[in-house]
Amino acid sequence: KQWATAVAVEAFSMQTHPVTHAEFLDFVTAGGYQTPSLWSESAWAWVQTAGVEGQPKTHPHQWFQAADGTWQLRSLFEDLPLPLSWPVYVTHAEAEAYCRFVGRRLPTEAEWHRAAYGDHADWRYPGGAVSPEAVGGGGHLNFTGWTPVPVGSAEQPANPYGLKDMHGNGWAWTATPFAPLPGFEPSPLYEPYSQDFFDGAHYVVCGGSPFTDAQLTRRSFRNWFYWHYPYTYTGFRTVQ
């Protein structure tokens, strides 16, 4: 919060909803994991050994194919037929490859904030809420459930830009490497908290997941994950 800074954001268009399992399945069945041009050099090298027992990766980490060939999802407590309307959770590398597949890209951190908060510099929480308790439903935010919900079905309305699920139904990858904001100084209470991850391999994520306390949806909170760490509840949406 103390390093807040104003930035200029050029015009862009954002997908109204997070990418779903159904949309990502198009990428999988079209051979996205077998197409090197969709991946950065380092991501393509990762794909070659990131599958089961060091084999090439062919699908998101939580997916698997049953004996009858149908796609299934490993959720926290059970295996399910792939819920096509749920947001897909993938690594940053997979999100970037999908964006190239559809001819779009990931939003920057600044673009995501512009889309989530618009011109409301005084909004501390999504939708202008003044406290975590007032944030309201967003997927299963605040541990009210153990899975995402179908995209667009969460109880909060679309924001003024027509965007749904901007918080609570999964963290959202951005194209922005996690780095210090101007004036950053490590907190004496926990100096390594963030600066150990200013390495160009961690990327800013926004929004919150079903396993996120509502306090962490505040505008000033910055979260980040490693670019190919698969055990996160993180999806994405595309921009151009």
pLDDT, tens only, 88-114: 999 999 999 999 999 999 999 999 999
Specify the number of domains making up the chain: 1
In the predicted model, is pLDDT for residue 3 greater than 70? no
> Residue 170's pLDDT band (boundaries 50, 70, 90)?
very high
What pLDDT does residue 175 have? 99
**Is the residue at 5 inside a domain?**
no
> Residue 11's pLDDT band (boundaries 50, 70, 90)?
very high
Taking alpha carbons only, the member of 205, 203, 185 closest to residue 193 is 185
In the predicted model, is pLDDT for residue 40 greater than 90? yes
Q: What angle do CA 59, 63, 66 make, to 5 degrees?
A: 110
Full residue range of the structural domain in which residue 191 is found: 90-235
**Is the residue at 229 inside a domain?**
yes
CATH number of the domain bearing residue 136: 3.90.1580.10
Taking alpha carbons only, the member of 231, 121, 100 closest to residue 175 is 100
What is the arithmetic mean of pLDDT over 125-136?
Answer: 71
**Is the residue at 50 inside a domain?**
no
pLDDT tens column, 221-234: 899 999 999 999 99
Sheet with 234-235: list strands edge to edge: 223-226, 202-206, 171-177, 234-235
**Is the residue at 143 inside a domain?**
yes
**pTM check: above 0.75:** yes
